[in-house]
Amino acid sequence: MKAALVEKFRAVYGREPEILSRAPGRIEFIGNHTDYNGGTVLGASIDRAVWVGLSRREDGRRRFASDRYDEVVTLPSGPVKKLSGATAWVNYPLGVLEALPEFGWRAPGGFDFLAMSDVPVGAGLSSSAAMELASGLAFLQATGENPGREALVKACRRAENHFVGVPCGILDQGVSGFGRKDHLVFIDCRGPAFSVVPLPEGAHFWIFNTHTRHALVDGLYAERHRECMEAARMLGVGLLADETPEALAAFEPGAPAESGILLMRARHVVGEIARVDDAVRALHAGDLSAVGRLLTASHLSSRTLFENSTAELDFLAGALAAAPHVYGARLTGGGFGGAVMALTSAEFGDGQAEAVAAAYGEAFGARPDILHALTSDGAQNIAASLDR
């Protein structure tokens, strides 16, 4: 990807990039809807990434290009404004530029910018957060800034929340920023606090993207958020992460029918936080079979208690969990459509993946996209010279 980026930069701008950076996509490993409830989550940075090349300009113009769009977008330096239509992809680096002064850092003036990516769009792998992290690293290197990693992650999350307008949690930027090869990123979302957990040798990820999306997905996500907040109030805690499994088991819901629904949502979140903690212990013990059982239990809880699965996701999770060389499988991301992730051994390969996809095709008349992924290091600056 590095050589391709340099070649493309030369073709677009007629000169060499001074600065190169990369940031990986991510998988939500386990911890479904725990982030905004103040809980814990595990994620994996994967070996698919967004790369950014940048060279400074003296005339104040900011030019943006991408391997996925033909148009070079030219903007003046100074205050940034949100774009729309075919140029809306530029909002991700623009949001980072807008966030830099909020954290006490200088934004670069004029520059030529090129992004390239092999992170599939729409597969729930957070190509947007990868774009933000790679852009942030390039901008800060251009101005000679060297902030801490946590501050950069928070700035990129701010860019997506306040400029792009997507109310994501810290998972996406945190995993892309703190990822490490052969490890998972553990995030305590209350802090937030970031650490890494070793991933036993031979673990592989397979993502099956259904390309299905519930027509009301945004409203359903907001509804689950509201239900979780109301469940916390019903239980007398600030956030569901403050509730213990023991207290929840002893709680008697009131008469309104919604109390039962709120209790279901709480049981999922509190149980999911416990599964994250159990997964950390199993990973430290090198017990991938135990981890796989937790992944499968996570999907069952999402389906029955949180009700954010679909028939397509249930089919894939069940078929994968029953397949040879698969430790476990679950929906990954917000749910209501999207993708399923399977944790497998190295013996699971293209043949088994194609068999699952074929069975899905017979059941639903469509084919899921398949992505095989391994862990990778998190966001980093790269030497621009091709001989380094």
Q: What is the pLDDT of residue 217?
A: 61
Could you give the CA distance from residue 72 to residue 383 in angstroms, rounded to a whole number? 25
Q: Give 317's pLDDT tier (boundaries 50, 70, 90).
A: very high
Segment 153-175 shows an average pLDDT of 89
- The candidate with the shortest Cα–Cα distance to 132, out of 77, 192, 189, 173, is 173
Between the alpha carbon of residue 377 and those of residues 48, 114, 172, 226, 380, the distances in Å are 10, 21, 14, 35, 8
Clarify whether 35 is annotated catalytic: no
The per-residue pLDDT for range 237-270, each reduced to its tens digit, is: 999 999 999 999 988 776 666 788 999 999 999 9
pLDDT at 277 exceeding the cut of 80:
yes
This model's pTM is above 0.85: yes
Pick the CATH number of 2-198 from 3.30.230.10, 3.30.930.10, 1.20.120.350, 3.40.50.720: 3.30.230.10
Q: What is the pLDDT of residue 251?
A: 87
- Is it true that 2-198 and 204-373 share their CATH fold? no
Q: What is the pLDDT of residue 214?
A: 65
pLDDT at 272 exceeding the cut of 50:
yes
Segment 183-204 shows an average pLDDT of 95
**Which CATH number describes the domain made up of 204-373?**
3.30.70.890
pLDDT at 387 exceeding the cut of 80:
no
Segment 13-42 shows an average pLDDT of 95
Q: What is the pLDDT of residue 255?
A: 62
Q: What is the pLDDT of residue 155?
A: 95
The per-residue pLDDT for range 51-84, each reduced to its tens digit, is: 999 999 999 999 999 998 889 999 998 889 999 9
Q: What is the pLDDT of residue 371?
A: 94
Residue 100 corresponds to which amino acid? L
The per-residue pLDDT for range 86-131, each reduced to its tens digit, is: 999 999 999 999 999 999 999 999 999 999 999 877 667 888 899 9
Q: Give 147's pLDDT tier (boundaries 50, 70, 90).
A: confident
Residue-range domain boundaries for the chain: 2-198, 204-373
Q: Give 360's pLDDT tier (boundaries 50, 70, 90).
A: very high
pLDDT at 386 exceeding the cut of 60:
no
Q: What is the pLDDT of residue 388?
A: 43
Which one of the listed residues 172, 242, 278, 350 is annotated catalytic?
172
Q: What is the pLDDT of residue 219?
A: 79
Q: Give 198's pLDDT tier (boundaries 50, 70, 90).
A: very high
